[in-house]
Amino acid sequence: MKWLLLLSLVALSECFYKVPLFRKKSLRRNLKEHGLLDDFLKTHHLNPASKYFPKEASSLLDTQALENYLDVEYFGTIGIGTPAQEFTVIFDTGSSNLWVPSTYCSSLACTNHNRFNPDDSSTYRSTSETVSITYGTGSMTGILGYDTVQVGGISDTNQIFGLSETEPGSFLYYSPFDGILGLAYPSISSSDATPVFDNIWDQGLVSQDLFSVYLSSYEEGGSVVIFGGIDSSYYTGSLNWVPVSYEGYWQITLDSVSINGESVACSDTCQAIIDTGTSLLAGPTTAIANIQEYLGLGDSSEEEVSCSTADSLPNIVFTINGVQYPVSPSSYIVEEDQSCVVGLEGMDLDTYSGELWILGDVFIRQYYTVFDRANNQVGLAAVA
């Protein structure tokens, strides 16, 4: 039920407090060199886990800085325990659990990441509960515990989280982050663990039952998650509000997908998920193939293309709740390792509502997004 994306990873590039001054080898390149890229690209969106306020007017909000890792993932640093042990985590609106590697884990993927040590925290409380989450690119199993989680300037006490005991496979080994902090609805949380934002809201640590996200491009930096508020300096015009169609993922209804005024997919509405944990624009295989054929790109989602290709291509327009949201070619043609790839990914997901799209970071980089739990709606506005 989730194609998280944690490993939105390879599709292209993502974030932190400062943009590095040097180019890192991309995850795509790293996986390719180890013969893992093809399998990753085929499966990296699947995760069958069981399951206004203007800033100046709100007294309780907090900003969490994110690092953009090559426009592929966005992650930030949190602390767990007393004293706090630091971890980098994906702030993922496509999943609901918080988990990090632990000292109980002997998997290869844990050996090169920070591991939580319960013995070093005076506020840790153990449980007998277990947690298991399966991703298309791997999985984790572990135990659940409670401790204080520092998110930005918020001290989230008595927060349940997963301590991994196993992280099989190679993909998590190569990931530049330690764990995942899910920001979707509680209904899809594995083991019914209370998500971080729900716990923060229940403790009255933010004034508004919402959070908002600004994802910058790699060259600019400054990506953030704002808990409990909206900052109008990040967008232009007005926020357009879209009802959540299913309270699991941040799922909404798409009216259509068009290019040059011509419908190319989703002609009779379809469902979409707004997912910070997925780097690409993803949709049904046939629909993505039609779009790439229309654009003259062929089946090139896994192949490099000339970066100058973007100069001659049109916008892909997503119409949502009667409002058009164009995604420019400079956004869906993504640069990596001094070359470019197409930021579109075909995948077929079985859902109760049929055809499903994922509006990942390629889309969110163009639209400041508000995730409003109080009113079960999403706010979208063009970034400033």
For residue 307, what is the domain's CATH number?
A: 2.40.70.10
- Burial class of residue 262 (count of CB atoms within 10 Å of its CB; 0-12, 13-18, 19+): exposed
Quote the pLDDT of residue 339: 81
Asked whether residue 220 falls in the same domain as residue 255, the answer is no
Residues whose CB is less than 8 angstroms from the CB of residue 74 and which lie 6 or more positions away in sequence, other chains included: 14, 15, 66, 67, 68, 90, 91, 215, 223, 276, 361
pLDDT digits (tens, 9 = 90+) for 8-44: 333 323 332 222 223 344 555 555 565 655 554 443 4
Strand ranges across the sheet with 339-342: 304-305, 339-342, 333-336
113 neighbors 90 (Cβ within 8 angstroms): no
354 neighbors 312 (Cβ within 8 angstroms): no
Asked whether residue 193 falls in the same domain as residue 280, the answer is no
Quote the pLDDT of residue 158: 98
Q: Which residues in the chain come in under a pLDDT of 70?
A: 1-59, 135-138, 299-303, 350-353
- Burial class of residue 312 (count of CB atoms within 10 Å of its CB; 0-12, 13-18, 19+): exposed
Asked whether residue 215 falls in the same domain as residue 261, the answer is no
Asked whether residue 251 falls in the same domain as residue 213, the answer is no
Q: Which of 71, 156, 275, 361 is catalytic?
A: 275
Asked whether residue 252 falls in the same domain as residue 203, the answer is no
- Going by C-alpha positions, the residue among 172, 165, 168 that lies closest to residue 145 is 165
Q: Number of folded domains in the chain?
A: 2
* Catalytic residue flag (residue 120): no
Asked whether residue 215 falls in the same domain as residue 282, the answer is no
The model's pTM is 0.85
Asked whether residue 10 falls in the same domain as residue 155, the answer is yes
Q: Average pLDDT of the chain?
A: 85
pLDDT digits (tens, 9 = 90+) for 293-336: 999 887 655 567 888 888 999 999 999 999 999 999 999 998 87
> Would you say residue 67 lies in a domain?
yes
Q: Which of 92, 147, 198, 361 is catalytic?
A: 92
Classified as helix, coil or strand, 163 is strand
* Catalytic residue flag (residue 62): no
Asked whether residue 218 falls in the same domain as residue 238, the answer is no
> Would you say residue 300 lies in a domain?
yes
- Going by C-alpha positions, the residue among 294, 270, 308, 281 that lies closest to residue 367 is 281
44 neighbors 5 (Cβ within 8 angstroms): yes
Quote the pLDDT of residue 91: 97
- Determine the structural domain holding residue 142 and report its residue range: 6-227
* 3-state SS string for 44-106: CCCECCCCCCEHHHCCCCEEEECEEEEECEEEEEEEECCCCEEEEEEEECCCCCEEEEECCCC
Tokens of 28: 């795509």
- Among 171, 204, 227, residue at a domain's last position: 227
